[in-house]
Amino acid sequence: MTTQLELVTIPDPRRKSIAHRQIQDRITIAFRNLRKHKLIARRNFLCCSGCACAKLHDELEGKPEISGAVYYHCQDADRFKETNKVSIRYSARENGELSTTAIGNIIVAHLVGAGLAIEWSGKPDQVISVTGLG
């Protein structure tokens, strides 16, 4: 009788941690550059979309020079820790120079430029998903 051994691959948690950190660092770079485009950029911002949108709306009211906002909230950050994927949310100033779609395109260009892989439909009501390193 012969015995066959089955090899089991155990995922290395350090690998996920390294990728997570690299993605996080590249999002930070992209957000820093997006501020140069007159966007408010926030990471791990408030608890949910509702609270974040309300707060950002208030911030935009007092700053007419700002075109819009880009952020991910705490719930997105929690999912990011588990999956290494994060939903990037964005908005344009009402009656501003740039449309929400235009702001989405600027955000995508900076995320890709920072070396990130993304998924986005191009529709202004859809989040931009960072799916990993590009």
Q: How many other CB atoms are found less than 10 A from the CB of residue 105? A: 15
In sequence order, the β-bridge partners of residue 42 are 71
Q: Can you tell me the mean pLDDT for 10-33? A: 84
Alpha helices in 1-134 (DSSP H): 13-35, 49-61, 74-83, 100-113
Would you state the pLDDT for residue 15?
63
State the pLDDT confidence band at 3, using cuts at 50, 70 and 90: low
Domain boundaries, the chain: 13-133
Would you state the pLDDT for residue 11?
60
For residue range 37-51, what is the model confidence (pLDDT) as tens digits? 999 999 999 999 999
